[in-house]
Structure 1
């Protein structure tokens, strides 16, 4: 039960409240006030003021992390996008440099005469040249006094250029002696090698065996006074090595140069 003292204190408080003026300038301040911070930095402490129930102000600090601003995030993202572009530019420069070097190197290889040799790569043409050259050499350097037609035909159809005069010079003295001694000369190509093929021209190294047999006879008288002819076989065998330059004309390989290496 309240005492008269309590009633007296209550009446005093009511009287004091009734005597206070009211208005916009005299409104009681809110019990809790928060001081806003202008643009707190990342990791900055936010300070708030709060009035306690007994009229004293207290401070409370809370630390929070502010989200990164748009400018800083863009600044960090931009280098990441630039890395692939830089790598692409470097690769483009490297590939361009390699393409230039490869083109220049290919031009040098095409201009090198040794690179134009297809003797080792074009096997079909190499075999064709070897076959026709071997047959031509055998015909050009074989002679039968009893049938000179094949020898003369070979000279007309298998020679061209300066090889015509070279062939006549090489066999001129031999043929004169072969006609007197009725000699049969047989040339057989034992091996050949194509040194170079350059388009429609080629150089062939030839190895050949050559035999020369004379069929001239010596007359002898028999007991009846009759003369009997006896064949005298004087065989000569030798090996030869030389080179010929051939050129393709109308589908055939003709001899245009005979190289006996100074012999």
Structure 2
């Protein structure tokens, strides 16, 4: 009898122990209060639009030592930026840069300097420079014994108002040429093409001039340097003629 009771009591104890272990390992039901880990605040309930109540995870707080370090160094929590906001900012910035670049390109294309062929076409610049130097040397050289080359240069290398300008500048030389047996020689030492616009151009010229008089017992030679600008125009056959002479107010 005692043996039977002992066996029954033992079975009851085993059954109670198994039930307690199952209850401990089973997942907690919804609404059951949970124990939060150390340093984590209890979650707060949030009601969704459908009326359900859900738990919102609590924000983890920094340990006291890290909070003290942040306070000493002045560190603050940096708010996060959502990706769509960053993309919108980038789109606005890129759009503004594209508009600025287009406006700048239009202004450069409309700039007179950008249309100056002398800056972009070395072949045309060399053509203008070479023909102008030869024309100036021929037009401002004169030999009393043979004025044919000077007359030919004036007839073929001048156009427009330059015809009268050249006549006025060499009038004294021609008038005194025979009496003083005058020989005038002009040599271009340097020139620079300032502008080329289609069939028009402007060239700055530096030249040395020597004037020799042989009428006296002893020849006399004087030297002078000249600086002036000439406007040239391109005619048929690719010939550039001088259309204007600018002495910068120095006269003849």
For the aligned pair, the TM-score class normalised by the smaller chain equals 0.5 to 0.7
> Which of 241, 244, 247 pairs up with 1:257?
244
| 2:154 match | 155
| 2:131 match | 132
Q: TM-score, normalised by structure 2?
A: 0.61
- 1:63-122 Cα offsets, whole Å, 9 max, x none, are xxxxxxxx99xxxxxxx9x72x44443333222211211121222223333443443443
Write 1 or 2 for the structure with the bigger share of strand: 1
- 1:174-228 Cα offsets, whole Å, 9 max, x none, are 21111333322111111112233334332222111112223447xxxxxxxxxxx
Contact (CA 8 Å) 2:173, 2:182: kept in 1 or not? no
2-structure distance, mates of 1:118, 1:98:
30
| 1:77 match | none
| 1:194 match | 193
- 1:139-187 Cα offsets, whole Å, 9 max, x none, are 1101122222221221122112211111111111221111333322111
| 2:176 match | 177
SS of residue in 2 equivalent to 1:119: helix
Relative to structure 1, the CA distance from residue 249 to residue 93 in structure 2 (aligned partners, 3 Å threshold; closer, same or farther) is farther
| 2:102 match | 103
2-structure distance, mates of 1:161, 1:253:
13
| 1:236 match | 222
Gaps of 5+ in 1: 7-30, 46-70, 73-79, 218-230
- 1:31-55 Cα offsets, whole Å, 9 max, x none, are 99x9x998558x759xxxxxxxxxx
2-structure distance, mates of 1:245, 1:109:
26
2-structure distance, mates of 1:189, 1:95:
54
Instruction: List 4+ stretches of structure 1 deviating above 6 A.
Output: none
Report the alpha carbon displacement of residue 137 of structure 1 after superposing the two structures with TM.
Answer: 0.2
> What CA RMSD, in Å, does the superposition of the two structures yield over aligned residues?
3.5
| 1:23 match | none
Report the alpha carbon displacement of residue 138 of structure 1 after superposing the two structures with TM.
Answer: 0.2
SS of residue in 1 equivalent to 2:158: coil
| 1:123 match | 122
| 2:42 match | none
SS of residue in 2 equivalent to 1:103: helix
1-structure distance, mates of 2:94, 2:197:
34
Aligned length: 188
2-structure distance, mates of 1:99, 1:192:
42
Aligned 1:219-230 pairs, distance under 5 A: none
Higher radius of gyration, 1 or 2: 1
SS of residue in 1 equivalent to 2:170: helix
